[in-house]
Chain A
Amino acid sequence: MNKVEIKLFASLRKYHPNSGDSEAFTMDLNDKTSLGNLIDKLKVPRQEIGVLMVNGTWQKENYLLQDEDRVGLFPLIGGG
């Protein structure tokens, strides 16, 4: 099992297990769980996702999550 820390940002916070929460939460995932599998579990619609990050850098959906990974999901955002 891999323990993964997950954070949902901005408009994606509504898919937090405690809907609307912005705090990080952890999930125990089977080995060979991909980032795409995690998105399925969280029921986040693909079209709402803009940025997928693992450990502070972009990853693709086929990335296999490792123990203690830090995942961040963002809508399409910009500005600054």
Chain B
Amino acid sequence: MSKILRVNMTNLTAKLEDVPSKYRLMGGRGLTSAVTSDEVPPTCHPLGPNNKVTYAPGIVTGSGAPTAGRLSIGAKSPLTGTIKESNAGGIAADKLARIGIKAIIVEGQPKEKGKFWVLKVDKSGAELMPAAAEWVGKGLYEAYPKMLKKFGDKVGIISIGVAGEKLMAMSGICVNDPENRPSRYAGRGGLGAVMGSKGLKAIVVDDAGGASLALANKEAFDTGRKKMTDALLQHDITKPGGALNTYGTAVCVAVINEAGALPTRNFSSGRFEGASKISGEMINETCKKRGGVGMTGHRCSPGCIIQCSNVYPKEDGTELVSCQEYESLWSFGANCGIDSLDVIGELIRLCNDYGVDTIEAGATIGVAMEAGLAKFGDGKKAVELMHEIGKGTLLGHILGGGTALTADTFGVVRCPTVKRQAMPAYEPRAIKGIGVTYATSTMGADHTAGYTIAPEIFGVSGKVDQFIVEKADMSRNFQYVTAFLDATGHCLFVSFAILDIASGLEGMVEECNGVLGTNWTVDDIGRIGGDIVKKERAFNEAAGFAKVDDRVPEFMKYEKLPPHNVVFDVPDEVLDKVHNP
């Protein structure tokens, strides 16, 4: 039987609890948002003793289902003040599931400030121990090998970096990848600071003696798993040798740029003249040309069929960074006017090292450039600004507080945030549906909350014109389906295959039935996902959020975005209809 591990940082205790019946059918985001909703006062300070941070593998994580190794982490966000769920790949979620941990709930706060603990979890239970001095205040490329030396190189490590230790609102939570790089992040919303506020440096997961998830209905599971696997192997986007596998997520750079929707120089244009130099095609070519450790088709978590990650080499073939993702390439690239993969790779490496979200960091540097702290395109200066964050200087704390804090501090009007979270790599003026999602998601500006780009640009699940504004229903449907998907533990990218291939969608539901013993059908997806979103929304309303917060920033309504020269013209009534159909 799986258990919930409750860790109290006030008393420094860790104890296993039975899973309450109300949580039995939940996992991933469904479970983290339920716990946050049930146990965290919506008006609490995110960094105070009453916030809690919850870690949960998905429903099918650890079952052998393909591309299902996501770890959901939830809390009240210090960046947005809303409920937050951010999920990561890496190896830890699978290990937690294999030792029967359905969730870890970390609560309370130690009386002693500035001291850090590590939670060690294995099949026999859990214990808290003081973090060694050599693990704290260090870059994660230095700290991870030292932690691995202590705990063995087969453990999953869920850790914060110095930004989380210093309680910065752009800090994320890191998980090691299959080769133990500190590179897979639950990046968004400052969850690293919540973990840091609890004095918890890391959770170490040892799955020795663990086993695959027990199945309630093996036949249903096997049928579902096969359907999902077949869909992933068949679809052009997700199959081996397909778009994601060959070019990585960066395959999006060219098409979003072509669509006039690649935010450039702090959201002042939708096209970047250097796009081809930071594209997925260029990454693929550079890996081949430089050789060495360079590779595309790298997997970020065990059991992934898609394998969209990469290892990007320096000129001499040694490793610069893993991974050059679309979002990071955009945030430090087009958004900062930087067209060098080597410079962007260095900036991504610094994010991994200091423990910050690459989206929030790049958007923040973009605003800092607009404020005159550096010129657009000045990679050297961008690196220096990132070091300010790592050092925790006064300027570093302002930047580390995120895009909105930096814009407030320097009086920058063009502040691309919703609910104080930076927009990702799609311009809402040029692609209206994603703007509807940014404005109305329970998470602040978040493309993963309802990825309408699939129909608006890629033509997945049908083709819808990018400029049509009546997209309340579309965004709501995507938000609900995504919430379900985030609960299963599958990577969001399976959606490309299963939105086009109906049997794949059935397969996802049948996998869940196989694990849980339920009789869900695809018709239940919207209801279950909708319940998750409604719960999150109720938390936000109780925290003080209202309709007026479901808006994109004002400048997008009067500044025309080239090359289409469009403003964000989605009427407020459409935005309000998303959650009030």
Contacts and interface: CB of A to CB of B under 8 A. Distances in A.
B246 interface: yes
A80 interface: yes
B251 A79 contact: yes
B17 interface: no
Contacts of A80: 249, 252, 256, 326-327, 424-426, 447, 451, 453
Interface string B459-476: 110010111000000000
A9 B251 CA distance: 9
Interface in A1-43: 7, 9-11, 13, 22
B237 A57 contact: no
A13 B282 CA distance: 12
B280 interface: yes
Given A13-B281, A56-B563, A78 B237 contact: yes
A9 B237 contact: no
Interface in A41-65: 50-51, 53, 56-58
Nearest to B250: A79
Given A10-B280, A56-B258, A58-B466, A76 B458 contact: yes
Contact of A11 (B243, B244, B255, B276): B243
Report, as a range, how many residues of chain B touch the other chain: 35 or more
B336 interface: no
B237 A10 contact: no
Contact of A50 (B247, B326, B459, B493): B459
Contact of A10 (B247, B467, B493): B247
A30 to B, nearest CB: 25
B466 A50 contact: no
Contacts of A9: 254-255, 258, 281
Nearest to B280: A10
B281 A51 contact: no
Contacts of B249: 79-80
B496 interface: yes
A77 B237 contact: yes
Given A10-B243, A50-B236, A75-B236, A56 B255 contact: no
Given A77-B243, A79-B326, A51 B564 contact: no
Interface residue range, chain A: 20 to 34
A22 B460 CA distance: 24
A53 B247 contact: no
B259 interface: yes
Given A76-B237, A77-B252, A50 B465 contact: no
Contacts of A53: 255, 258-259
B281 A56 contact: no
Contact of B244 (A13, A56, A57, A78): A78
Given A50-B459, A56-B563, A77 B281 contact: no
Contacts of A74: 254-255, 258
Contacts of B271: 56
Contacts of B467: 57
Interface in B220-279: 235-237, 243-244, 246-252, 254-256, 258-260, 271, 276
Nearest to A60: B463
B263 to A, nearest CB: 13
B288 to A, nearest CB: 12
A79 B426 CA distance: 12
A56 B271 CA distance: 10
B308 interface: yes
B258 A10 contact: no
Interface string B527-559: 000000000000000000000000000000000
Nearest to B493: A79
A79 B252 contact: yes
A56 B259 contact: yes
A28 to B, nearest CB: 22
Contacts of B248: 79
Nearest to A7: B258
B457 interface: yes
Nearest to A70: B258
Given A51-B255, A56-B564, A72-B258, A77 B458 contact: yes
Nearest to A79: B249
A60 to B, nearest CB: 9
A76 B250 CA distance: 14
Interface string B58-82: 0000000000000000000000000
A56 B236 contact: no
B564 A72 contact: no
B281 A79 contact: no
Interface string B433-456: 000000000000001000101100
Given A57-B259, A58-B466, A11 B326 contact: no
B281 A10 contact: yes
A51 B463 CA distance: 10
Contacts of A7: 258
A53 B249 CA distance: 20
A11 B252 contact: no
12 contacts: A9-B281, A51-B457, A53-B258, A56-B260, A56-B430, A56-B563, A57-B260, A58-B466, A78-B496, A79-B251, A79-B252, A80-B424
Given A56-B259, A58-B463, 9 more contacts: A13-B281, A53-B258, A75-B243, A76-B235, A76-B237, A76-B458, A78-B252, A78-B496, A79-B243
Interface of A: 7, 9-11, 13, 22, 50-51, 53, 56-58, 72, 74-80
Q: Which 10 A-B residue pairs are closest in the complex by CB-CB distance?
A: A79-B249, A56-B260, A76-B236, A77-B243, A78-B237, A78-B496, A72-B258, A80-B252, A80-B326, A9-B254
